[in-house]
Amino acid sequence: MKYILIFDHPYTLSASNNQPHHRSYSAAVAKQTIDYLTDKGNTVDVIDLHQDRFDPVMHEEDLTAWRTKVPISAQVDNYFERLKVADEIIFIFPIWWELMPAMTKGFIDKAFSKNRAVSMHPRVVLEKNPVIRIFTIAGTPTFLYRLKYGNPIMKAMATGTFKKIGLKKIKWHNFNAEDESPQKRQADLAQIQKYLS
């Protein structure tokens, strides 16, 4: 199968090596996901937004391009062509202030723009109808994130974005690494296949 993984963390995927002052559990989850999928014979295309120096801001000229259905940039066109061939799309990012970081939001704003639709009623953007997986890493415990905050990630990404463009196979898992022991974090990583089925 063809997977595409969109990774958003300022330290980039290089932070998966657990080096002091340059480590990220988000990167560790991404690396474990990539390793597991490739070991099973799948192909994994990785978009590391910070490594790519992606600009998430919708500038005036970007919005004009979006509204007039012309390409926003060569980089965004490249991203979209890679999304089109994927059987599954995996987003991995930390939750900050209960939402996704700016890079992920900007990626969605730009890659899924109006000019991408192949039909409007209903709106279809990706004809292959890929599975969407969202792996988040948060300090807020998952039950509290659902109960107190109402699960804003799934409201924004599943209901507010992907279901609107006909993508309904959406799965979410949140890792509470901040509250776990190092042993539990490693155990969660070792069981990544549970969240990829």
List 47's β-bridge partners, or say none: 6
pTM for the full predicted model: 0.94
Which pLDDT score, from 0 to 100, does residue 151 have? 96
Model confidence at 19, pLDDT cuts 50, 70, 90, reads confident
Q: What is the CATH number of the domain that holds 136?
A: 3.40.50.360
Checking if the pLDDT of 61 tops 90, the result is: yes
Q: Would you say 80 and 111 are in contact if contact means Cβ atoms under 8 Å apart?
A: yes
Checking if the pLDDT of 84 tops 90, the result is: yes
Kindly tell me the sign of the dihedral angle through the C-alpha atoms of 67, 68, 69, 70: negative
Residue 157 lies in domain: 2-195
Nearest to residue 104, comparing CAs of 122, 67, 139, 79? 79
- Burial grade of 130 (CB within 10 A; 0-12, 13-18, 19 or more): buried
Checking if the pLDDT of 39 tops 80, the result is: yes
Q: Would you say 33 and 88 are in contact if contact means Cβ atoms under 8 Å apart?
A: no
Our CA angle for 24, 13, 39, nearest 5°, is: 110
Checking if the pLDDT of 89 tops 90, the result is: yes
**Rounded distance between C-alpha atoms, residue 122 and residue 102, angstroms:** 28
List 123's β-bridge partners, or say none: 120
Instruction: Tokens for 13, please give them.
Output: 């995927």
Checking if the pLDDT of 188 tops 70, the result is: yes
Q: How many structural domains are present in the chain?
A: 1
**Rounded distance between C-alpha atoms, residue 89 and residue 85, angstroms:** 10
The average confidence (pLDDT) of the chain is 91
Mean per-residue pLDDT, 173-181: 86
